[in-house]
């Protein structure tokens, strides 16, 4: 069974000498939290705690980078995955292991007022350097597109000199999401390049006091099964109204290695593609999580075969 991997949010420190070393990170958890066993097209990852450590040098590891809007054609492929693909995949990703989110018990419901109406809040906390965030964003964008619309997504790749370097992905830093069912709030806390002193990643966005309190409280070994206390406050953190949570990536970023954004997006219409299966299984889990907090709307999505399969696997009603 697959288990989530994540980036630890360590205290800033001077980078070490090795380009793909292990370490800690204060706003993005060490690179890998849990054990992953991926077969087929993906290399088996040894059951160890993988921790991202900032490294020195590197042409792409320093200096500000201009925002690059995502290709509209790629966004279209991301946000218009055929229903048959969701239903064919369900949660079946045999070549690349996918871990389901964690269903929480007896926590206060997290909501916000939107257009005069209270709706469930989905909080994402991550960082652009983080390869586990990079993998999870694919499924997060796809799942949320079933409930609303995106604008302002940007191209991004994880840090070039660490574990799973240059994992192709997107950034939420300028993204806007509109839905009548849920409110999505995202915070990209760090860039994918080092600060001027090359002691840590350049800070990007800040959590509000309420978001910070939620992140610190629930991205914690007290609540997340399998999370060691030294890895509290890890990336990515996806909180579905305090009722379902994801800490770490649901599938290994190694699955995306050697593929461009265009190639990954183009394959999303092919349910038999191993990468597509991992992303879509993750998206079905995320979709089921949203359906569990928004009253099961829209019903055409929440009663679909792929979502029902995910809900059953998670033990949701």
Joined tokens for residue 268? 């999303």
What per-residue confidence (pLDDT) applies to 36? 33
What per-residue confidence (pLDDT) applies to 32? 34
For 22-60, what is each residue's pLDDT tens digit? 222 333 333 333 323 232 333 323 222 233 333 333 333
For 208-243, what is each residue's pLDDT tens digit? 999 999 999 999 999 999 999 999 999 999 999 999
Joined tokens for residue 271? 């349910």
66-91 exposure pattern, b = at least 16 Cβ within 10 A, e = fewer = eeeebeeebbebbbebeeebbbbbbb
CA distance 97 to 282: 10
What per-residue confidence (pLDDT) applies to 3? 64
What per-residue confidence (pLDDT) applies to 162? 84
- Kindly report the pTM of this predicted structure: 0.85
State whether residue 240 is helix, strand or coil. strand
Closest residue by Cα to residue 127 from 186, 75, 78? 186
Closest residue by Cα to residue 207 from 108, 122, 126? 126
Burial of 316 (0-12, 13-18, 19+ CB in 10 A): buried
Greater model confidence, 39 or 316: 316
Joined tokens for residue 218? 């629930």
Q: What is the mean pLDDT of the chain?
A: 85
Using the structure block, give the residue that is written with the tokens 């829209």: 298
Q: What is the DSSP letter of 298?
A: S
What per-residue confidence (pLDDT) applies to 146? 98
117-154 exposure pattern, b = at least 16 Cβ within 10 A, e = fewer = eebbbbbbbbbbbbbbbbbbbbbbbbbbbbbeebeebb
Query: Could you give the angle at which helices 305-314 and 274-293 cross, rounded to 10 degrees?
Result: 70
Closest residue by Cα to residue 89 from 254, 304, 276? 276
For 106-124, what is each residue's pLDDT tens digit? 999 999 999 899 999 999 9
What per-residue confidence (pLDDT) applies to 97? 96
What per-residue confidence (pLDDT) applies to 193? 96
Q: What number of helices (H) and strands (E) belong to the chain?
A: 8, 14
pLDDT surpassing 60 at residue 257? yes
Residue 257: how many other CB atoms lie within 10 Å: 17
CA distance 99 to 1: 7
For 125-151, what is each residue's pLDDT tens digit? 999 999 999 999 999 999 999 999 999
Closest residue by Cα to residue 180 from 119, 123, 121, 239? 119
Domain coordinates in residue numbering, the chain: 7-314
CA distance 308 to 312: 6
Q: What is the mean pLDDT of residues 312-316?
A: 97
25 HSE (CA, 13 A, CB side): 37
β-strand partners of 88: none
For 176-211, what is each residue's pLDDT tens digit? 999 999 999 999 999 999 999 999 999 999 999 999
pLDDT surpassing 50 at residue 311? yes
Closest residue by Cα to residue 191 from 173, 212, 218, 211? 173
Predicted confidence band of residue 9 (pLDDT cuts 50, 70, 90): low
Q: What is the mean pLDDT of residues 262-285?
A: 98
Burial of 217 (0-12, 13-18, 19+ CB in 10 A): middle
CA distance 100 to 111: 23
CA distance 213 to 304: 35
């Amino acid at each position: 069974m697959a288990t989530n991997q994540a980036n630890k949010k360590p205290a800033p420190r001077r980078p070490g000498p090795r380009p793909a070393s292990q370490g800690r990170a204060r706003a993005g958890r060490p690179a890998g939290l849990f054990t992953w066993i991926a077969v087929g097209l993906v290399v088996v990852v040894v059951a160890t705690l993988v921790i991202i450590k900032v490294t020195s040098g590197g042409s792409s590891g320093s200096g500000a980078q201009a925002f690059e809007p995502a290709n509209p054609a790629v966004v279209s492929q991301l946000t218009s995955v055929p229903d048959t693909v969701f239903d064919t995949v369900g949660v079946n990703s045999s070549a690349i292991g996918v871990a389901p989110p964690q269903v929480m018990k007896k926590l206060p419901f997290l909501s916000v007022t939107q257009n005069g109406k209270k709706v469930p809040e989905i909080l994402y906390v991550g960082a652009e350097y983080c390869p586990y965030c990079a993998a999870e964003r694919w499924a997060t964008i796809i799942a949320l597109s079933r409930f609303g619309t995106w604008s302002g997504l940007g191209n991004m790749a994880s840090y070039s000199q660490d574990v799973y370097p240059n994992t192709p992905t997107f950034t939420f830093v300028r993204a806007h999401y509109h839905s009548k069912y849920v409110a999505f709030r995202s915070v990209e806390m760090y860039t994918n390049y080092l600060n001027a002193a090359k002691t840590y990643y350049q800070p990007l966005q800040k959590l509000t006091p309420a978001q910070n309190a939620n992140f610190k409280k629930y991205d914690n070994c007290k609540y997340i099964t399998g999370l060691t206390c030294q890895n509290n406050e890890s990336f990515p953190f996806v909180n579905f109204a305090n009722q379902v949570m994801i800490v770490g990536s649901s599938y290994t970023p190694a699955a995306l290695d050697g593929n461009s954004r265009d190639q990954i997006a183009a394959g999303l219409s092919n349910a038999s593609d191993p990468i597509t299966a991992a992303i879509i299984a993750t998206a079905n889990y995320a979709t089921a999580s949203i359906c569990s907090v928004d009253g099961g709307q829209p019903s055409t999505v929440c009663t679909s075969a792929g979502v029902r399969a995910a809900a059953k696997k998670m033990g949701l009603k």
